[in-house]
Structure 1
Amino acid sequence: MVTCKETRAVIIALHKKCFTGKDIAASKIAPKSTIYRIIKNFKESGSIVVNKASGSPRKSSKRQDRLLKLIQLRDRGTTSTVLSQEWQQAGVSASARTVSQRLLEDGLGSRRAAKKPLLSRKNIKDRLLFCKRYRDWTTEDWVKVIVSDESAFRFFGASGKKLIRRRQGERYHQSCVMPTVKHPETIHVWGCFSAKGVGSLTILPKNTAMNKEWYQHILREQLLPTIQEQFGDKQCLFQHDGEPCHKAKVITKWLREENIDILGPWPGNSLDLNPIENLWTNKNPQILTNSNH
């Protein structure tokens, strides 16, 4: 509310005579909020002139800002353009840029969505049971575990984004581009490791998918020597996920005959629980081709 200079002068005069804001508001000379604002401004600046805010006036109230936040939280993926259209229905005519600024004030910055496996109700239940089963394990317990996994490696190109530094006009310079091919050659590998170190690494032949026959061969030729090397005659636990070839009857029977105990049951769709994923981070096929394992 805009007040005239005479009204502001009366408010300040009453304030100087020790009248409270509530007492002054009782005279209905101005709304209580306006009276308090004038008194506050006088205490801070010593003037009865209320300084105007710099820049353009704010287009939305606090209540409208809260509404915008609720709309965004209802659907985190809604764009600023769509939000500005929905906000307009609430009486606020604002650009997508203004929407972004308001949300940023509330700590809702735009970020790239993190990727994680889609979990079913069964996955969630199994993960919870697994974590409860092993939550009291100590370091001494976990050093007895040998974990394993399979992964795919591309021979050409990279599966993700590559960051480079370039000058203006160098977008397509040979040193600044990442070559691509339609069907990059891919190999599949199996590996294992424990707290005692990495184990054997098996590279499957080209165009070969893992099946129960190959898996049994790998366990016999690679897992057993690794267990013997790292644990000797001491008991250990073997971890593998729930791939169909891992759960095949012939595999279950073979593991039982070899007296290999299994860590689990391993919850489905739980790559993030397997520490071996950290070893697959740098998927460099040159390292594999130069490996003696």
Structure 2
Amino acid sequence: QPRSTAAAENEMILDELEENENPTSETITRGLKRKKVEISSRTVQRRLKEAGYQFSASLSKPLLTTIHKKRHLKWALSMQNQNWDQIVFSDESTIRLGPVKRRQWQLKGFRKVFRTIKYPGKVNVWDCFAPRGFGQILCFSPNLTSKFLCKQIYTKALRH
């Protein structure tokens, strides 16, 4: 089957890849469409692979190692006879307001550098629950420290 793209169109695909902040085959296809070039996203994927690119995510590492899992199991087994009616469970989460790393087309053997804001905005959320019910959801922006946790969160959320 004859190729659906010429050398000039293949070059346009690579140019669009370099111009795009978070390139995917769909965003490249849309960029080419604005330039009046009709190429399917599947063809864009094939041309990028031929040019030595791969669609990959940034490096990641599992949160729990085998040692962590063994320690958690040991702790859980030791706590089976605990009186859980006297325990308050709490959790916090941070919502980042800056960009999130995504999968991108990158040359094999190379990692793209993601431009990030050094200290992006964030919102922290904290809540708790116990056998009597749920606590009060608290939102805050400072970093969570033991001092902040005791003075600001525990005194507000655990009053009753």
TM-score, length-normalised on structure 1? 0.24
Q: Which has the larger radius of gyration?
A: 1
Taking CA–CA contacts closer than 8 Å with sequence separation of 6 or more, which of the two structures ends up with the larger relative contact order?
2
TM-score, length-normalised on structure 2? 0.40
Higher share of residues assigned strand: 2
